[in-house]
Chain A
Amino acid sequence: MSHPVFKRQLDLRYQKKGGIPMNGALIGQLLVSGACSAFVLLLTSLGLVIIMGYMKVVNLAHTEMLMAGAFMCYYLYSVLHIPFVITLILAYVISFLFGMLIERTVICHFYGKMAETLLATYAISIIMKQLALILFGKSYKQVAYPVSAVLHIGPVYIESYKLILCLISILALVGTLVFINKTTMGRKIRSTTQNRTMTNCLGIDTRKVDTITFSHGMGLAGLAGAAIAPLSTVTYSLGESWLTNTFMNVVLGGVSSLFGTVASSFIIQESIAVISGFSNSIMGQIIVLLVVIVIIRIKPEGLFTPKGRR
């Protein structure tokens, strides 16, 4: 990090902008905000990874569910003044129910048909987005921070809400891991993924298992959407802005282990944060996306996946 060329570029950049003295602090700031964004990305792509990993369904409506979650947060928290924690739980529950509805009416007809699932979930995402546009209009809505303190740790600034987001994200991850690995339902989910016919023979209703897996994924998306609402302007196109990063994350991390997702969230967001410091966030995204394409050429199974991908 202390490469002289790096430092000079940063120095030049900040001299132009009014001469903030350049030191390790900026790098530290970039790394810390990158880490926070990594947790946010982990939270936003968790539901997608679960649905994809356990059901082999690519849920293109995922990012629109984020958007819906953000709207829930706006109406429940900012308009109805329900406490933030309860808003999050409500967002999860509503999204869970919505996921159930979608799964029962649409997704369950297309298991095992890749192109049809993609098209169907794409259709759902278009419908959700346009409904949001028609119902809520084009205006931007702002959700106030539940906690607005800014922490100073040495030279580095952190918004306390971002720390809370990290906490929510870790909680969601741990909760999901416990749900999948320690509960009876989780065991059923895993056995359905491994061998559907055998699981059916044991008297487990795999259709119900599918519904719950999918709804949990959607629920997490809604929760994530509600959690990120204060960070971003709530509008109908919120989903689109998350599309690239979440799907990139899934592609890089692979789908069969959540650990891969954690690692790839960090890789993606830290590199975007650092590159953004030198140029801008869009260049960061482009460079990272290209690097991801090169990486999966070398490691086609994703970073940490033992199994082959389909």
Chain B
Amino acid sequence: MKILKAFKNLPVNRYIDMAILLFLLVFPFCSSTYWIYVMSGIMAYIIFALSLDLLWGYTGLMSMGHSLLFGAGGYMIGIACSYINKADWVEYEKLTWFLSPLSSEVGAFIMALLLPALISFIIGFFMFSGKIQGVFFSLITLALSGVAELFVINQSKYTHGNSGITVISRTLISDSKADRMDDFTFYFVILLFLVLAYAVCMLIVHSRVGKVLQAVRENESRLTFFGYKPSAFKMLIYTVSGAMAGLAGVLYVRTQGSVNSTAVGINLATLVLVWVAVGGRGNLTGAMVGTLVLQIAETVLNSVFSGISADFAQYWKLVLGIIILVIVFVIPKGIVGTVIDIQQKARDQKRKDAILSKEE
């Protein structure tokens, strides 16, 4: 009975979470291989969106270049794979010293998580321990992401320039073709990672650290007066978020079987912002809903319109721009944020009515 009551008192976004989990569990049993493949990619993107939500939604740090960390993870796997399998464009004999862990498969996986974390830690160290606030953080991350794209194209010795790197797909750590799983199994591997990432996010958000992070978002100077050090917390969450974005990058690259310069560029950084903004920030559900809705919509519309016009992608981006404008105007809290607000209002009304009827 108690459990039932607790269940009833949950905020509405927890129901949505459960619905999404159920949907993702059932989905592969009733859809084609193509859709399982698409959904695997979307789930990797969801992890990416969650990592941004931790940073933007909970801590108020709007990173406009989060794809830098995503791509850093992806490229570590890409470089390792091309080195181990001796891709035909590889001309170097040995990796340079800081890339040397990539010569082993496990090392590459660890590097793919550590390097984004390290990058975000260093950026965070310089920005947060000074007094860089708000919008300047956004601008610098945006600039970093823009430069990173050029950098990746420029360093074609390791990254194969514009063409990108082909990676052995549907394996987790191994780089040999023999270890490839089928789409169905790999889907559940990614789902497992998604659930883990979500659990980690929930853990962070509901811990004391998470409360402090939300305080950073609400009023940083007041937090300083309480004796906290906001910069340390910001650095911590940026690092965690970076590692998570790196993980998302790894999984996405493993799903797609390739990595190229769009993975670090401004385009993807925009996309992830849009997902989180549309879904609603500051509750982990929003990031998931936004990613699911927009990515599924894109895939469906793409298959519908590709027969009519070859340039579907550019119209879709135009539509995305309009969607952001509409969202910012109409529901600035995003879909899930608005739903939570409605539920909260209804509950408040109920409580009010109950008190009033008692008084009478």
Contact = CB atoms under 8 A, between A and B. Distances in A.
A177 interface: no
Interface stretch (A67-75, A178-186, A246-254): A246-254
Interface stretch (B137-145, B190-198, B202-210): B137-145
Contact of A289 (B127, B136, B143, B311): B143
Contact of A130 (B62, B123, B314): B314
A282 B324 contact: no
B7 interface: no
Interface stretch (B42-50, B294-302, B325-333, B341-349): B325-333
Interface residues of A, number: 45
Given A124-B321, A248-B143, A285-B147, A297 B266 contact: no
Interface string B256-293: 00000000001000100100010000000000000000
Interface of B: 62, 64, 123, 126-127, 129-136, 138-140, 142-144, 146-147, 150-151, 154, 266, 270, 273, 277, 311, 314-315, 317-318, 320-322, 324-325, 327-329, 332
A164 interface: no
B325 A250 contact: no
Given A240-B266, A296-B132, A297-B130, A133 B314 contact: yes
30 contacts: A58-B135, A116-B328, A119-B277, A123-B322, A123-B325, A126-B317, A126-B320, A127-B318, A127-B321, A130-B314, A134-B314, A134-B318, A240-B146, A244-B146, A247-B139, A247-B142, A247-B143, A248-B143, A250-B139, A251-B140, A282-B150, A282-B151, A286-B150, A296-B126, A296-B132, A297-B127, A297-B132, A308-B131, A309-B131, A310-B133
A130 B266 contact: no
B123 A293 contact: yes
Interface in A237-259: 240, 243-244, 247-248, 250-251
A178 B280 CA distance: 44
A126 B315 contact: no
A125 B317 CA distance: 11
Contacts of A285: 147, 150
A286 B130 CA distance: 21
B324 A123 contact: yes
A298 B146 contact: no
Contacts of A250: 139
Given A289-B143, A296-B130, A243 B266 contact: yes
A282 B159 CA distance: 15
B291 to A, nearest CB: 17
A114 interface: yes
Main secondary structure of the interface of A (DSSP, over half): helix
Interface in A112-158: 114-116, 118-120, 122-127, 129-131, 133-134
A289 B123 CA distance: 12
Contact of A297 (B129, B150, B314): B129
B262 to A, nearest CB: 13
A278 interface: no
Main secondary structure of the interface of B (DSSP, over half): helix
A248 B146 CA distance: 11
A118 B332 CA distance: 12
Given A126-B318, A127-B322, A251-B136, A110 B270 contact: no
A55 B352 CA distance: 43
A187 interface: no
Contacts of B154: 280, 282-283
B145 to A, nearest CB: 9
Contacts of B277: 119
A297 B128 CA distance: 8
A81 interface: no
Nearest to B122: A293
Contact of A114 (B130, B135, B273, B321): B135
Given A126-B321, A251-B139, A286 B151 contact: yes
Contacts of A247: 139-140, 142-143
A120 B328 contact: yes
Among A114, A115, A127, A292, which residue has the most Cβ atoms of chain B within 10 A? Answer: A115
Contacts of A308: 131
A243 B328 CA distance: 23
Nearest to B145: A244
A282 B270 CA distance: 22
B63 to A, nearest CB: 11
Contacts of A243: 142-143, 146, 266
Given A285-B147, A293-B123, A300 B325 contact: no
Given A115-B62, A127-B322, A286 B138 contact: no
Nearest to A125: B321
A208 interface: no
B305 to A, nearest CB: 14
Contacts of B140: 247, 251, 292-293
Contacts of A309: 131, 133, 136
A93 to B, nearest CB: 25
B60 to A, nearest CB: 8
Nearest to B139: A247
A89 interface: no
